[in-house]
Structure 1
Amino acid sequence: MQKEIDNCLSIINSGGLILYPTDTVWGIGCDATNPEAVKKVYKLKQREDSKALICLVSDIRMLEKFVYEVPQPAYDIIQLSTKPTTIIYDQPINVAGNLIAPDNTLAIRVASDEFCQKLIRKLKRPLVSTSANISGRPTPMSFSEISSEILKGVDYIVNLHRDKTNNNPSTIIKLSNSGIVKIIRK
């Protein structure tokens, strides 16, 4: 696992894209603070940059460095969730501007996967995590379902868990600082 983490760090730190297993589905990732890398993700997915992407952080301490104010209920949701849960936060900070949605929000999940946690801890900043598919096409549930366009479009493919069928995408909850809670995806 350490070799895979080192290989990923080399690519991510040079502005490249990785394809990696997450706590949900296979993801396309890059440094969430690098606008040029984020632009490459949108291009590969053939997705409008007005449609925001998800980021992964290693823990709550890291989350607090990239959101101006984490609403109190978020701590309970993160702690009590029994499945991967992504929360859309108001006022993200210290991330690439083209990662932030037009309404000044950003979807962030505290990673529960061991590989992701270790990679993000070493990276010391959030990692973009968007499903490994062209926008509008079905999300691949296993490595073997990932299209050749995606495989050829990344700079590095993690050599872990390729035989595993992945879980469903995460639950997504929008949690505004005004107290409004909205479930976007169960």
Structure 2
Amino acid sequence: MMPNLPRASVTQCAAIIACGGLVLYPTEGVWGLGCDPSNEAAVRRLLALKQRDEAKGLILIAGATAQLDAWVDWSSLDVEQHARALRTWPGFHTWIVPCRQATPTWIRGRHDSVAVRVTAHPAVATMCSQFGKAIVSTSANLATKPSPLHLREVSAEILAGVDAICEGETLGYTSPSQIHDAASGAIVR
């Protein structure tokens, strides 16, 4: 089913996120849902739309490493652990990093860490830049369903719950980003 919402520009999507809205957008491999991670109401709306348990935590995606500084405690990693993550960015790799004490449970879930990525998708990087900080990035599917590789695979329930669909397409990867533990380097997903 194709969406009734018109495609919005990256600039329009950044403004919608800034106003507390939910945006459907292409990432490297799948279509994602995003919002302002510091807006509790927006995040809770996103979690309810996905039917996702808050305890699992969410991924934050950024256009630049500095946009993650408010959320992660880089000082808890040694130089090599930090460098290992930085070498993969911008890119298709998400890293689980210890979070700052102020990181709310609606982002970190039951963890003392947060999953973060500096995206290689130019439109998403620009959206984060125009928004001025990282955004939530979770696949645009109901919690029990597969991640959508194409816009046509996004369910009617998800489409009905977003405020905009960002122009663009995925970068063609065939899965969500790979997730690594920053302390060990181990692949988690």
Range class of TM-score, shorter chain: 0.7 to 0.9
Q: Identity of aligned pairs, percent?
A: 31
Counterpart amino acid of 1:106?
A: V
Find out whether 1:19 has 2:45 as its counterpart: no
Find out whether 1:172 has 2:179 as its counterpart: yes
SS of the equivalent of 2:44 reads helix
Normalising by structure 1, report the TM-score: 0.86
Q: Which string of whole-angstrom CA distances, capped at 9 and with x for unpartnered residues, describes residues 112-157 of structure 1?
A: 1100111101111111110010001111111111111111111111
Question: In structure 1, what is the Cα distance between the partners aligned to 2:102 and 2:128?
Answer: 15
Normalising by structure 2, report the TM-score: 0.85
Aligned to 1:84: 92
Identify the match of residue 45 of structure 2 among 30, 40, 44.
Answer: 40
Identify the match of residue 106 of structure 2 among 98, 103, 123.
Answer: 98
Question: In structure 1, what is the Cα distance between the partners aligned to 2:30 and 2:117?
Answer: 13
Find out whether 1:182 has 2:186 as its counterpart: yes
Counterpart amino acid of 1:46?
A: Q
Does the C-alpha gap of structure 1 residues 184 and 165 become closer, same or farther in structure 2, counting only changes over 3 Å? Answer: same
SS of the equivalent of 1:184 reads coil
Question: In structure 2, what is the Cα distance between the partners aligned to 1:141 and 1:173?
Answer: 21
SS of the equivalent of 2:69 reads helix
Contact 1:53 1:130 in 2 (8 A): yes
Contact 1:26 1:166 in 2 (8 A): no
Does the C-alpha gap of structure 1 residues 156 and 175 become closer, same or farther in structure 2, counting only changes over 3 Å? Answer: same
Bigger mean CA deviation after superposition, 69-78 or 145-154: 69-78
What is the alpha-carbon root mean square deviation over aligned residues?
2.2
5 Å-filtered alignment, 1:1-186, equals 4-69=9-74, 71=77, 72=79, 73-80=81-88, 84-92=92-100, 95-161=103-169, 166-176=173-183, 180-185=184-189
Give the C-alpha shift of residue 35 in structure 1: 1.1
Gaps of 5+ in 2: 1-7
SS of the equivalent of 2:136 reads strand
What is the number of residues matched between the two proteins?
Answer: 179
Gaps of 5+ in 1: none
